[in-house]
Structure 1
Amino acid sequence: MTTPGSGTRSGDIAPEQAALLARIHQLAANATRLRQTNHTTGPRTTPSTQLLERIAAIDRDRDLTEIAARAQGVPANWVDLARRLGHTGRAWSDDQLLPTPRSVTGRRSARRVLDDTRELAEMAAITVVREHLLSTAGITGEPDPVAAQQFRRNMQALWTRAAATATSIRMDRTERADAFEAATRDVDTHVERYRHLSLDDLDAQWRTYTTPTIADGVRRSLKSLRRTDRTATSSSRDAEIEQPPTPDALLERARRTLDTTSTEHTRAGAEIDAAVTDAIPGVPTHGWDTSTDVRDSEPASAQHQAHPEAGPDP
């Protein structure tokens, strides 16, 4: 079993946690199918009391299963993913990629600043790589603008909390520089990892950051922060001190990293082709086909005539 983190799949986690997620997904899918069954019978059809009670029972079972999952340490965004895929009719398997567990920090600390800025770095990388994959798939524009808008709100909320917390706990310049540089480096790491995912897997990761509960949680913590800091005063020195990298700055970093990485891979491929061509002159690399036996691709007549009969030996 691997430690939960980025790149974790449902088959990698503890079996009891995997079973709970699979059940959440199945119950969500069952309830959705029952609702759709009623819709297909006609738009004016009133669902029976028995059907409504059955759907309600399934939803209650799912709610209890979600509570049990969280009690066993299953991250909330894993639970959200299983429920959402069930509702949307997407399959669930041991190969399902799970999002990076969101940290839960209850105190004002340097750890909270680091967690928030690193989460921003991951969100920036996911956004940029997802845009690239959508474009590659021929999808122009944002398929879900409402979710995208909430994603941006969540990024801004996390940045606001990181900046406010850093000021509240009086992080010095060295601590700030270490935290912010770590987040910036994380952008490169996340871009390299996410660019190898399929669009479906990456979209599932992206949607874990589109829930309004992220911004709601940040607002609650900021209210608490303001209540405890009413007597605190800011100085010109505080205003001049370095702030966390903004969402726009992290997004721009992710775009540069993706462009650089793509260019390097393209250049490396061209250099390999050139090296092979130099080693075997006269054989164009674009004409190679190692998956097909040359003899199988020739007409039968050509194969028989490769060594024509010269007639009987004299």
Structure 2
Amino acid sequence: MSGPNSGTRVGDLPHEHTALLREIHYLAAESARLRQTTDTASLSVTDHARALTQLERLDRERELTEIAARSQGIPPSWVAQARQAGRAGRAWTDEQRLRAAPRQQTGRRTVKRVVADARQLVDMAALTAAREHRLTAHGFTSEPEPAAAQQLRRNMEALWTRAVRTAAAIEMSGRERARAFTITDEQLQQRTEQYLHYGLDELNAEWRSHANPAVAASVRRSLSSLRRETRTIATPSTPELDADLPKPAQLTDRARAALGETVAADHTDTGTATEAAIAAAMPAQLAYDLDTNTSPDVGEQPTTTEAYRDAGPDP
């Protein structure tokens, strides 16, 4: 989708783009409706808390859908237009005219995408650790959704690959890479603490959204588009460049360690810090299920540029 013109009809877009914009509009409209109800209706404490939880879920789903939309090359101004129309209660049809999308320089756009990919990896690692903790607390001793768990690992590998390859392609400076790729234990601990407030159903819903195959598919398209724009994607030739951004398995292990420390600290006053840390750890079988990478499909190379040859627009 290069150079969209002013007055483009929603109905003239590719089907998948139309669907994403429609979903953004719907989620924004539902969130606005529920927020108005929460602000105006007399709700019990329980109903109010339930409404706030639902609002958080709707907003999070919309944010993830917007990420997917931008990753597939939908201009941010169109994403914002769908969101604004939903919040305002305006209709969204195939006849909707989209505003002209401002042109952006590839360098600035891709730097922002590198930062976004790194942040999403942190989120996925923290979510994985918190979900493991909840599964253990509910008596699970093995991963209940192994196929989705494998897809989530593939998505994380794809995001890591795009971040590293893009940084190399646009020749990000050492300072820029440090800002984008430095992930502290404090960041991981803060994120895992936030997820500890979620129930298992909420964690599962968030986790499944990150385990969607569309995540890896959008990465393949954007890498292909970036290759066309920059003519070639530089492959990191030194371990130092790859080491700038911790690999997904390392991030997940660090998130687990951070979660263990958080749970242990919460139980210090009762003298059960050691027991809490043990409880936060995964049973051997579940840890194996979640950490073991099964053999990729024939021809699949999730951590190499060649694994992402699909054509598609750059976000």
TM-score using structure 1 length: 0.54
In structure 2, how many angstroms separate the alpha carbons of the residues matched to 1:139 and 1:228?
47
Give the CA deviation at 1:125.
0.6
Please state whether the residue corresponding to 1:140 is helix, strand or coil: coil
Read off the aligned partner of 2:53 and give its amino acid letter: D
Structure 1 residues 286-305: aligned runs within 5 Å: none
Give the CA deviation at 1:149.
1.2
* Alignment CA distance shift 1:231-1:251 (3 Å): closer
* Alignment CA distance shift 1:265-1:185 (3 Å): closer
Give the CA deviation at 1:72.
6.5
Please state whether the residue corresponding to 1:158 is helix, strand or coil: helix
Structure 1 residues 86-101: aligned runs within 5 Å: 95-96=53-54, 97-98=56-57, 99=60, 101=63
Match of 2:199 in 1: 198
Read off the aligned partner of 1:129 and give its amino acid letter: A
In structure 2, how many angstroms separate the alpha carbons of the residues matched to 1:206 and 1:200?
10
Give the CA deviation at 1:67.
5.4
Match of 1:222 in 2: 223
* Alignment CA distance shift 1:141-1:231 (3 Å): closer
**2:240 corresponds to 1:240:** yes
Match of 2:187 in 1: 186
Give the CA deviation at 1:68.
3.9
**2:153 corresponds to 1:152:** yes
Give the CA deviation at 1:178.
1.4
Give the CA deviation at 1:65.
9.2
Give the CA deviation at 1:223.
1.0
Read off the aligned partner of 2:259 and give its amino acid letter: L
Please state whether the residue corresponding to 1:264 is helix, strand or coil: helix
Higher mean Cα deviation, 112-121 or 145-154? 145-154
Match of 1:137 in 2: 138
In structure 2, how many angstroms separate the alpha carbons of the residues matched to 1:157 and 1:115?
13
Match of 2:278 in 1: none
In structure 1, how many angstroms separate the alpha carbons of the residues matched to 2:245 and 2:210?
19
Give the CA deviation at 1:207.
0.9
C-alpha distance after superposition, 1:153-196 (max 9, x if no partner): 11111111001111111111111111122576432221011112
* Alignment CA distance shift 1:115-1:233 (3 Å): closer
In structure 1, how many angstroms separate the alpha carbons of the residues matched to 2:219 and 2:183?
22
Give the CA deviation at 1:93.
5.6
Please state whether the residue corresponding to 2:182 is helix, strand or coil: helix
In structure 2, how many angstroms separate the alpha carbons of the residues matched to 1:184 and 1:124?
12
Contact 2:117 2:160 in 1 (8 A): yes
In structure 1, how many angstroms separate the alpha carbons of the residues matched to 2:218 and 2:197?
31
Contact 1:117 1:183 in 2 (8 A): no
Please state whether the residue corresponding to 1:95 is helix, strand or coil: helix
Contact 2:129 2:255 in 1 (8 A): yes
In structure 1, how many angstroms separate the alpha carbons of the residues matched to 2:194 and 2:142?
24
* Alignment CA distance shift 1:233-1:214 (3 Å): closer
In structure 1, how many angstroms separate the alpha carbons of the residues matched to 2:230 and 2:185?
29
**2:24 corresponds to 1:70:** yes
Match of 2:110 in 1: 109
In structure 2, how many angstroms separate the alpha carbons of the residues matched to 1:221 and 1:184?
30
Give the CA deviation at 1:269.
3.4
In structure 2, how many angstroms separate the alpha carbons of the residues matched to 1:248 and 1:170?
26
In structure 2, how many angstroms separate the alpha carbons of the residues matched to 1:232 and 1:202?
36
Stretches of structure 2 lacking an aligned partner (at least 5 in a row)? 1-17, 32-49, 74-105, 273-315
How many corresponding residue pairs? Answer: 192
TM-score using structure 2 length: 0.54
Give the CA deviation at 1:226.
2.1
> How high is the sequence identity, in percent, across the aligned residues?
40
Stretches of structure 1 lacking an aligned partner (at least 5 in a row)? 1-63, 79-91, 272-314
* Alignment CA distance shift 1:197-1:170 (3 Å): same
* Alignment CA distance shift 1:196-1:170 (3 Å): same
Give the CA deviation at 1:229.
3.4
Contact 1:125 1:254 in 2 (8 A): yes
Match of 1:126 in 2: 127
In structure 2, how many angstroms separate the alpha carbons of the residues matched to 1:117 and 1:184?
14
Match of 1:259 in 2: 260
Give the CA deviation at 1:239.
5.5
RMSD: 3.0
Give the CA deviation at 1:144.
1.0
In structure 2, how many angstroms separate the alpha carbons of the residues matched to 1:232 and 1:213?
22
Asked which structure has the greater RCO (Cα within 8 Å, sep 6+), the reply is 2
